């Protein structure tokens, strides 16, 4: 899909990958960009930058774990710019905890990393299917394909959302709607960099697997992937080979990860 003339909504867009995507989509000529985040000030700043650069954008806060908040977000986009053409469910959380993570951490991971995308699909895909076109971009992470050593809730929920994205793609592609899973590995964001600096084992394992990318590099890869309507958008090309190796022999792949200290 070409982004020129499209109405785009993004969650988790006050900083990092989400902010980079919002600015890049605006630069591609989007008809309107709705920047959403739990941080209203950050979302307002990104929207203001887009407007200052000649684009069209508004900010609208939303808690992605709330279907009512996401419903209001879609309604705001329609009121300001028209029907949503592209919905990017991008917000995510990570705690860097193992299987003994607290119940609250497991529940929050599930609500944000999985149910956000379920709600987004419920809210925008029916209208897109009726029009015969539209795009749902789900930020899943390479952890959904390869795992995130040291972070059990993140690994489990990101694997779950890959399964959701596959089901949605199989169901809605015949209706003209594209679903893609964006799966970066390490990116220089507030989600990862502080943990790397602190020496957290999970963050260091991610950083060892491939060079950390800038959010703008992820946005560039995303635009290319959306033009080609790739199901898996992989900003780190090494993820493709690792995923193929895992599929060939999962047991051997696990042994190798253990041997590499991942």
Element containing residue 26 per DSSP (H, E): helix 16-27
Q: From the CB of residue 161, how many other CB atoms can be counted at a distance below 10 Å?
A: 24
Alpha helices in 28-148 (DSSP H): 40-52, 67-80, 103-110, 116-131, 143-146
- Write phi, then psi, for 105 (nearest 5 degrees): -65, -40
Q: Of the candidates 222, 143, 155, 144, which has an alpha carbon nearest to the alpha carbon of residue 186? A: 143
- CB-CB contact of 9 with 77 (8 Å): yes
Q: Active-site residue among 119, 154, 172, 243?
A: 154
Q: How far apart are CA 229 and CA 126, in angstroms?
A: 19
Alpha helices in 137-249 (DSSP H): 143-146, 152-172, 193-197, 201-209, 215-228, 238-248
- CB-CB contact of 178 with 125 (8 Å): no
Query: Is 154 among the residues known to form the active site?
Result: yes
Phi-psi region of 48 (alpha: psi -120 to 50; beta: other; left: phi over 0): alpha
Q: What is the DSSP letter of 173?
A: G
Residues noted as catalytic: 154
């Amino acid at each position: 899909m070409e982004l020129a003339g499209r109405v785009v909504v993004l969650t988790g867009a006050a900083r990092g990958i989400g902010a980079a995507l919002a600015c890049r989509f605006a630069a591609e000529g989007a008809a309107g960009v709705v920047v959403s985040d739990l941080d209203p000030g950050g979302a307002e700043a990104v929207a203001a930058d887009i407007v200052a650069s000649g684009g069209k954008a508004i900010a609208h806060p939303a808690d992605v774990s709330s279907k009512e908040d996401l419903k209001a977000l879609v309604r705001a986009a329609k009121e300001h710019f028209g029907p949503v053409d592209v919905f990017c469910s991008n917000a995510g959380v990570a705690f860097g905890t193992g299987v003994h993570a607290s119940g609250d951490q497991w529940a929050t991971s599930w609500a944000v990393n999985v149910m956000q995308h379920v709600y987004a699909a419920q809210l925008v895909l029916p209208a897109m299917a009726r029009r015969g076109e539209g795009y749902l971009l789900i930020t899943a992470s390479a952890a959904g394909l390869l795992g995130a050593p040291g972070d059990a809730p993140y690994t489990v929920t990101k694997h779950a959302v890959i399964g959701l994205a596959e089901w949605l793609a199989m169901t809605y592609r015949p209706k003209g709607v594209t679903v893609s899973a964006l799966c970066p590995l390490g990116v220089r964001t507030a989600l990862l960099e502080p943990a790397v600096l602190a020496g957290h084992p999970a963050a260091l394992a991610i950083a060892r697997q491939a060079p950390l990318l800038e959010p703008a590099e992820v946005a560039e890869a995303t635009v290319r992937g959306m033009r080609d309507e790739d199901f898996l958008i992989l900003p780190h090309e090494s993820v493709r080979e690792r995923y193929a190796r895992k599929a060939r022999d999962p047991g051997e792949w696990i042994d190798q990860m253990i041997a590499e200290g991942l």
